[in-house]
Amino acid sequence: MAKARYHHGDLREALLDAAEALVRERGADGWSLREASARVGVSPSAAYHHFGSRDELVRALSEVVLARLGSHLRAAMDATSGHGAERLVACGRAYVTWAVLDPAVARLVFRGGATEPQSAVSPHPHDVLTTELDRLADTGLLPPQARPGAEFVVWAAIHGLAVLLIDDLVHIDDRRDVELQTERLVSATLNGLAQETAPPADRPLPRTAHTQRVAQSQDAGPSPRTFSP
């Protein structure tokens, strides 16, 4: 392979791959830029022609993996023959199982924080959830008054279980038990939402970090990113 070449060819991609492998081997924080560069066979400073900093590498990797997770979720749902709620349960199961099977990478991605607004993380897991809940509302399985913002309730539940597991705050030995627990969680959440009557008039609508430009053009005012304590 083009090893002795002065120009690498596709160093950017190679660094992303090496970083991902290192995360998997040594944990989300147990690796260095220099190590990834060395593994690719390149000097440490070469990386700075493709990423402005180590953090930028991490963000780029996060976006790649997040998009992969998105299509994984979609595929898991489509592989289900079930109707209605079963698809959403499959989605949650895929989400949690994915995190548990690749905990280091999951930690990195979930902790990566907000991705760039213009970044094309597609399909974003949140969007997958959103379209599925739309489907449930159309089917009538989810009453219309419970639909707005329901994706955040479901996402919080699923994400919470995944994070509790990969951070070792909760421990489940068997993989099958992880799935059972996830199914219970999603079912309970969905049933709870279905039971909702009229929402309060001022129910808040959260925003995802990967907001698209469309939403930006609507509200001109600068949206504060922090609370005033």
Partner DNA sequence: CCCAGATCTGAACAGTGTTGAGATTGCGGT
Partner DNA sequence: ACCGCAATCTCAACACTGTTCAGATCTGGG
171 contact, one of a copy of itself, DNA, none, CB 5-8 Å limit per kind: a copy of itself
Q: How far is the CB of 31 from DNA (least distance, A)?
A: 7
The smaller minimum CB distance to DNA, of residues 49 and 225, is found at: 49
Place of tokens 């950017």: 12
Asked if 103 contacts 163 with a C-beta cutoff of 8 angstroms, the reply is no
d(C-alpha 150, C-alpha 73), whole Å: 18
Element (H, E) at 46: none
Q: Binder to DNA among 13, 25, 26, 53 (CB under 7 A)?
A: 53
- Is there binding between residue 48 and a copy of itself (CB under 8 A)? no
Stretch that binds DNA, among 38-46, 99-107, 122-130, 183-191 (CB under 7 A): 38-46
9 is in the binding site of which of DNA, a copy of itself, none (Cβ under 5 to 8 A by kind)? DNA
192 in helix, strand or coil? helix
Q: What's the Cα-to-Cα distance from 119 to each of 13, 47, 191, 203, rounded to whole Å? A: 17, 20, 34, 29
CB 196 within 8 A of CB 115: no
Q: Does residue 170 belong to the site contacting a copy of itself (CB under 8 A)?
A: yes
Buried b (16+ CB within 10 A) or exposed e, 166-192: beeeeebeeeeebbebbbebbeebbee
Please tell me what DSSP assigns to residue 24: H
CB of 48 to a copy of itself, least distance (A): 21
- Which residue in 3, 7, 49, 174 binds a copy of itself (CB under 8 A)? 174
Residues making contact with DNA (CB under 7 A)? 5-9, 11, 32-35, 41-46, 48-50, 53-55
Residues making contact with a copy of itself (CB under 8 A)? 100-101, 107, 110-111, 113-114, 126, 149, 152-153, 155-161, 163-164, 167-178, 180-181, 184-185, 187-193, 195-196, 199-200, 202-204, 206-209, 223-225, 227-229
